[in-house]
């Protein structure tokens, strides 16, 4: 993917050469058997997915995929290059232009998406296990991801009847109407923190609206998307409608964002890379949606249910090992309960089970890469040097695997880097506030605006604060609580456009107006 990780890869070639080595294995089988730590076995596709077939890359290059829990190699995957992007785009363009998908009755597109959801649902335990193996997340979190995938595909299937245009009255001498049409070939670049969920968030709205897709998986987590793609032909989706090119951002991502036949780019990843993509895409006037970084505030008022608030803080920052763009990484506690909450959150953090993702009692698995682990530990040192109080955590767990203790900083100043910058890991800062106005000002003092949390028993306080927060999603008395019909996306540096809900459809449609003069 094009992300903060990709940006770092450009500046650390020695690390790239050690852990993500490119090799020429033209003889690499297109599927390989893998036995999972829980005893399940499956055949992992290794090729690119083009025209409903698993194919090798043109140059035969491959790259290594690492298990972040053990640091061992899982397998090699074929690495796409610019010529592979051209082949995938041509397949997608041909599929769009022949009308086998773009012009059929939307109800049939809905039926195919629903069938895809059912096929994934039948295989959900293997798919969740692949996600845990490849990403390092706890198996229960991975199961939750697969459930969200299934529900979103089914929900998108039901949106086939949301694609209508409208009639416009301009007097009896004219017949005016609009129709909403697909854009064409859509390029989609997904991140490594929710590999399969982001795959679904991207392809579902594109497909139901009649578009075709060329998707780039994240280089560190390509396995689940390639595995799930095997169900696309079985679901009745024609060749060329969905194409997957695994590879690196600076090669595949760059080729996609500048390709003349790609009409729209959807990206999830870092704000810095999102800006770069936006500039690249602007040269050919592509439509662009960006779901970017965050530094989300999580606000606890004195009248909140404190037990539930503490649990929502834990879910807000340690879920998915803290590798969540909307993580509640800035906690604000009303001063009358600050000391009590600090102790409660500390105790709850230290009770979080960190370790083997396939252990059913694990809540926080591994960070996805050595690079991400190093980044988190670097920010711990930055926090200490800035004078923040390390309340708990801040250390690596064990010597094998990319594990880190849940970490809390108190005594922070709002201008500290650990408060301002996205760490993307299980690190939270806790600040105190007095008044509603004060906390709103503190919460909004950020370049980001992806999400926020409010904890209070007073509905007036909740709605008043929600209205004033500059965030695309506001959770009240909950956190990291997603539903397939509720749109998700950010304000400010957190992005453009929305995922999920009917709002997601607008990203993949364009309106055509037809004005017909009637004879007198």
Two structure tokens written together for 1 = 């993917």
The CATH 3.40.309.10 portion of the chain extends over 297-485
Alpha carbons 18 and 379: distance in angstroms, whole number: 23
pLDDT given for residue 16 in this prediction: 36
How confident is residue 476, by pLDDT bands cut at 50, 70 and 90?
A: very high
Asked if 19 and 370 count as a contact pair (C-beta separation under 8 A), the reply is yes
Residue 14 has pLDDT above 60, yes or no: no
pLDDT given for residue 8 in this prediction: 27
pLDDT given for residue 210 in this prediction: 98
Alpha carbons 247 and 190: distance in angstroms, whole number: 11
**In sequence order, which ranges of 136-285 are alpha helices (DSSP H)?**
139-157, 195-208, 223-228, 231-234, 254-258, 271-282
Given its phi and psi angles, is residue 309 left (phi above 0), alpha (psi -120 to 50 degrees) or beta? alpha
Please report where in the chains the tokens 């926080």 appear, as a residue. 364
Name the catalytic one among 64, 131, 219, 291.
291
For 132-136, what is the mean pLDDT?
97
pLDDT given for residue 24 in this prediction: 53
pLDDT given for residue 3 in this prediction: 35
Residue 203 has pLDDT above 50, yes or no: yes
Residue 292 has pLDDT above 80, yes or no: yes
pLDDT given for residue 364 in this prediction: 98
For 497-510, what is the mean pLDDT?
96
pLDDT given for residue 443 in this prediction: 98
Q: How far separated are the first and last CA of the chain, in Å rounded?
A: 59
Residue 112 has pLDDT above 70, yes or no: yes
Tell me what the pLDDT averaged over the chain comes to: 94
**4-292+499-506 fold:** Aldehyde Dehydrogenase; Chain A, domain 1 (3.40.605)
How confident is residue 187, by pLDDT bands cut at 50, 70 and 90?
A: very high
For 406-417, what is the mean pLDDT?
97
219-255: per-residue pLDDT in tens? 999 999 999 999 999 999 999 999 999 999 999 999 9
Cα Rg of the chain (Å, integer)? 23
Sheet holding 262-268, edge to edge: 53-55, 48-50, 242-244, 212-216, 185-189, 262-268, 287-291, 495-496
Residue 19 has pLDDT above 80, yes or no: no
pLDDT given for residue 26 in this prediction: 56
Residue 18 has pLDDT above 50, yes or no: no
CATH homologous superfamily for 297-485? Answer: Aldehyde Dehydrogenase; Chain A, domain 2 (3.40.309.10)
299-340: per-residue pLDDT in tens? 999 999 999 999 999 999 999 999 999 999 999 999 999 999
pLDDT given for residue 520 in this prediction: 74
Buried (b) or exposed (e) across 221-251, using 16+ Cβ within 10 A?
A: bbbbbbbbbbbbbebebbbbbbbbbbbbbeb
Alpha carbons 189 and 280: distance in angstroms, whole number: 14
Helix 106-122 crosses helix 139-157 at what angle (to 10 degrees)? 160
pLDDT given for residue 27 in this prediction: 81
The CATH 3.40.605.10 portion of the chain extends over 4-292+499-506
How confident is residue 161, by pLDDT bands cut at 50, 70 and 90?
A: confident
Helix 4-11 crosses helix 271-282 at what angle (to 10 degrees)? 90
HSE-CB of 375 using CA atoms within 13 angstroms: 20
Residue 11 has pLDDT above 50, yes or no: no
pLDDT given for residue 347 in this prediction: 98
Asked if 277 and 285 count as a contact pair (C-beta separation under 8 A), the reply is no
Asked if 267 and 274 count as a contact pair (C-beta separation under 8 A), the reply is yes
For 180-189, what is the mean pLDDT?
98
pLDDT given for residue 214 in this prediction: 98
40-78: per-residue pLDDT in tens? 999 999 999 999 999 999 999 999 999 999 999 999 999
pTM score, whole prediction: 0.93
**H/E stretch holding 113:** helix 106-122
Annotation says 121 is catalytic? no
């Amino acid at each position: 993917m094009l992300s903060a990780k990709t940006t770092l890869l450009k500046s650390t070639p020695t690390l790239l050469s050690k852990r993500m080595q490119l090799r020429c294995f033209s003889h690499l089988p297109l599927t390989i058997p893998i036995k999972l730590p829980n005893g399940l076995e499956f055949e992992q596709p290794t090729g690119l997915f083009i025209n409903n077939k698993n194919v090798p890359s043109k140059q035969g290059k491959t790259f290594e995929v690492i298990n972040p829990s053990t640091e061992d190699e899982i397998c090699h995957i074929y690495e796409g290059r610019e010529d592979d992007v051209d082949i995938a785009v041509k397949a997608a363009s041909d599929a769009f232009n022949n009308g086998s998908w773009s012009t059929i009755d939307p109800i049939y597109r809905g039926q195919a998406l629903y069938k895809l959801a059912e096929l994934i649902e039948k295989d959900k335990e293997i798919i969740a296990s692949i996600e845990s193996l490849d990403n390092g997340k706890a198996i229960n979190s991975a199961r939750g991801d697969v459930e969200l995938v299934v529900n979103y595909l089914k929900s998108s299937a039901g949106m086939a009847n949301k694609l209508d245009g409208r009639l416009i009255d301009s007097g009896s001498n004219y017949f005016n109407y609009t129709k909403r049409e697909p854009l064409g070939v859509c390029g989609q670049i997904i991140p490594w923190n929710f590999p399969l969920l982001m795959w679904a968030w991207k392809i579902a709205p594109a497909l139901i609206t009649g578009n075709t897709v060329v998707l780039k998986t994240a280089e560190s987590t390509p396995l689940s998307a390639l595995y799930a793609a095997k169900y696309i032909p079985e679901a009745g989706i024609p060749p060329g409608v969905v194409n997957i090119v695994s590879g690196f951002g600076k090669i595949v991502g760059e080729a996609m964002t500048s390709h003349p036949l790609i009409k729209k780019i959807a990206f999830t990843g870092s704000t810095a890379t999102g800006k770069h993509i936006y500039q690249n895409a602007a040269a050919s006037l592509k439509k662009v949606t960006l779901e970017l970084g965050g530094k989300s505030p999580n606000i606890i008022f004195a009248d909140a249910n404190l037990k539930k608030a503490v649990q929502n803080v834990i879910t807000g920052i340690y879920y998915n090992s803290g590798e969540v763009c909307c993580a509640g990484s800035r906690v604000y506690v009303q001063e009358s309960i600050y000391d009590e909450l600090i102790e409660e959150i500390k105790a709850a953090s230290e009770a979080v089970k960190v370790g083997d993702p396939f252990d059913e009692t694990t809540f926080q698995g591994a960070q996805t890469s050595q690079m991400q682990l190093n980044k988190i530990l670097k920010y711990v040192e930055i926090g200490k040097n800035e004078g923040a109080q390390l309340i708990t955590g801040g250390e690596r767990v064990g010597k094998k695997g990319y594990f880190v203790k849940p970490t809390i900083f108190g005594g922070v100043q709002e201008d500290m880097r650990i408060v301002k910058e996205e760490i993307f890991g299980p690190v939270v800062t806790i600040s105190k506030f007095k008044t509603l106005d004060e906390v709103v000002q503190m919460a909004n003092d950020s370049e980001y605006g992806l999400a926020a949390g409010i904890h209070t028993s007073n509905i007036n306080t909740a709605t008043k604060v929600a209205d004033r927060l500059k965030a695309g999603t506001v959770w009240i008395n909950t956190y990291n609580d997603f539903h397939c019909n509720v749109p998700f996306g950010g304000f400010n540096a957190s992005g453009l456009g929305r995922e999920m809900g009917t709002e997601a459809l607008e990203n993949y449609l364009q309106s055509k107006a037809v004005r017909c003069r009637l004879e007198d």
